[in-house]
Structure 1
Amino acid sequence: MKETISLSAPQEISVPVDDLWFDDGNLILQAEKSLFKIYSGLLAARSSVFRDMLAFPPPAEGNATLDGCPIVTVYDSAKDMNYFLKAVFDTSFFEPPPTPTELPIVEGVLRLSLKYDVSYLHRRALQHLLSTFPMTLSAWKNRENDRTIPPVDNTPFAAFRIARQFDLVWLLPSILYCVSSHPFEKTLDGATWGKEKEQELISLSWLDKRMCILGRQRIVMFQSRNSVSLMKSSTAPVEGCNGETCVGTRQRCADILGQWDMAGMLDYFEDNHDIWYSGFCSACRTAFKETCASECDSMWTELPEMFGLPSWEVLEDLRKKAFE
């Protein structure tokens, strides 16, 4: 670790960031109390904003300097600037999917890539969000294999905040479905987010709470209707059924679905594999799989409307514009 450095006044103590302190760098950026010694040419080549900023002549009184390098103060959090500069200068730090990353990194890179106009990093951040909160049912079904942001507790609430802050409406259906799969109290009272020493409470606005509550209610009603349908079908055997436990298994599957007070339909078939596979004969397994697939497709189609959002077609157009 580099030593701390006092700049201009005794109380202003700054700390060089080891990973972003290049001895032959020619520009020092200061964000809060962190110093980054970097290469101005490479930064300017990546960012039109920095290119224009660095093209301006220095003020008459001159910039503060350290070891002959000008110091430029930026009014961003040190955490965000750290992530952003690592993404710029370390090609292995923030690679596109399928390379994994973390949501705070995505958020920091997204914020500063927008502010400083680094389009390839902006698109990359959106790709990571999309891998984790997809826009198609097939991508949802492969989500656990394809997602690049790990399922840390309360990730959907943090992602919801990001989608709101950056107007990423097209991500909201799958994010809100995930929110609806969490205990109801988190929507009402807030959800904790972050590492233990940095935890914060994410509280939703009243309008967002209303959106979540109404959407969750519609999802639960959809699942309840499916539960009733399964119960009715338990008395009408599937053609070709030759299993003694099929009727009871169908009733058990209906009971599980009907008891949920949170979202679960989209993963219902996969999550209850042990029950239906062992309890159904071959014909009933096929029929149950087809029923679940059809109902998942219906729910996915209706999902944006459940939360009062535009159709998938409109959201897809918004996504395309975001990636331009």
Structure 2
Amino acid sequence: MVAPQLTLSWYPTSKSSNVVMDPDLWFEDGDVVIVAGNTHYKLWANLIARHSTRFKTMFLETNLAAPHTYDTFDDCPSYTLPHKPEEVTLMLRRMMGFDRAESVLVDIRTLETLLETGTYYEAPSLREEALLWIQKLYPTSLPAFEQARKARTTLIPFFAPSIKSPLDLDYRLARLAFRYRLREVLPLILYNLAAAEPIAFLETSYKLATLLDRV
């Protein structure tokens, strides 16, 4: 039986000669190449697909496609992603089991990357990791929530240097919770904002609602 002809709905591989091979994520016996900008990663498709429904679908389409109908690099199917190299590097390191210690949180941009890539590539473990960090500030039980409020000054440095104040962190996390539908923590974040600065919260709540309508 002849395999059906499929057109892969993905991005063409960059033809730039300025190729950078990530030293930690390039394995000679890998069977798939991921590309972000000029950065190339050679990994194992079954391992990546285990973490991401979207990658699993991409790899399945390639397996069903006829030869020479998809891009290759180093004799492997290749896929160029729409995200920045630093975002893809963080995502793939997590999928490969690197940097999973609790201490690995550079700043709030790490949370943003975990949520963005976890949502876009349908990788639940990335979203769950981000949510666990956010729940350090906004635990789901009332006693733990009160303790977390008292310990905020010790937790804030984990989200530095882009965060200027505790309330700045609340607003940033509220926007993330809206954008990525983090229903587990959104009510607690909004409660904290309303309790700390009720007038300012009312003045900005419209902006948050507008943001929700856009995503």
Sort the TM-score into its range (normalised by shorter chain): 0.5 to 0.7
Q: Does 1:78 align with 2:85?
A: yes
Over alpha carbons, which structure has the higher Rg? 1
2: CA distance, partners of 1:215 / 1:122:
29
| Aligned equivalent of 1:176, options 193, 202, 206 | 193
Q: Does 1:213 align with 2:200?
A: yes
With normalisation by structure 1, the TM-score equals 0.47
Q: Does 1:87 align with 2:94?
A: yes
Could you tell me how far 1:145 is from its partner in structure 2?
4.6
Q: Is the CA contact (8 Å cut-off) linking 2:91 and 2:117 kept in structure 1?
A: yes
Q: Is the CA contact (8 Å cut-off) linking 1:79 and 1:108 kept in structure 2?
A: no
SS at match of 2:19: strand
- What one-letter code is carried by the residue in structure 1 that aligns with 2:70? N
Q: Is the CA contact (8 Å cut-off) linking 1:128 and 1:149 kept in structure 2?
A: no
- What one-letter code is carried by the residue in structure 2 that aligns with 1:71? S
Could you tell me how far 1:37 is from its partner in structure 2?
1.1
Residue 181 (structure 2) aligns with: 167
Residue 101 (structure 1) aligns with: 105
Structure 1 stretches lacking a partner, 5+ long: 1-6, 181-210, 217-306, 309-324
Map of 1:173-322 to 2, 5 A cutoff? Answer: 173=190, 176=193, 213-215=200-202
2: CA distance, partners of 1:140 / 1:108:
25
Q: Is the CA contact (8 Å cut-off) linking 1:27 and 1:70 kept in structure 2?
A: yes
Indicate how the Cα distance of structure 1 residues 88 and 122 shifts in structure 2: closer, same or farther if over 3 A, else same: same
SS at match of 1:117: coil
Could you tell me how far 1:150 is from its partner in structure 2?
3.5
- What one-letter code is carried by the residue in structure 2 that aligns with 1:101? L
| Aligned equivalent of 2:149, options 137, 140, 149 | 140
Could you tell me how far 1:69 is from its partner in structure 2?
1.5
Residue 271 (structure 1) aligns with: none
Residue 20 (structure 1) aligns with: 25
1: CA distance, partners of 2:135 / 2:92:
23
- What one-letter code is carried by the residue in structure 2 that aligns with 1:166? Y
Q: Does 1:122 align with 2:119?
A: no
Indicate how the Cα distance of structure 1 residues 118 and 214 shifts in structure 2: closer, same or farther if over 3 A, else same: closer
1: CA distance, partners of 2:196 / 2:18:
42
Q: How many residues align?
A: 179
Could you tell me how far 1:73 is from its partner in structure 2?
1.8
SS at match of 2:105: coil
Residue deviations 1:36-77, cap 9 Å, x none? 111111011222221222111236643222221221122222
Residue deviations 1:216-249, cap 9 Å, x none? 8xxxxxxxxxxxxxxxxxxxxxxxxxxxxxxxxx
2: CA distance, partners of 1:60 / 1:29:
18
- What one-letter code is carried by the residue in structure 2 that aligns with 1:149? F
Q: Does 1:39 align with 2:75?
A: no
Residue 62 (structure 1) aligns with: 69
Q: Which stretch of the first structure deviates more once superposed, 115-124 or 139-148?
A: 139-148
1: CA distance, partners of 2:84 / 2:66:
24
- What one-letter code is carried by the residue in structure 2 that aligns with 1:87? R
Of the two structures, which has the highest relative contact order with CA contacts closer than 8 Å and spacing of 6 or more?
Answer: 2
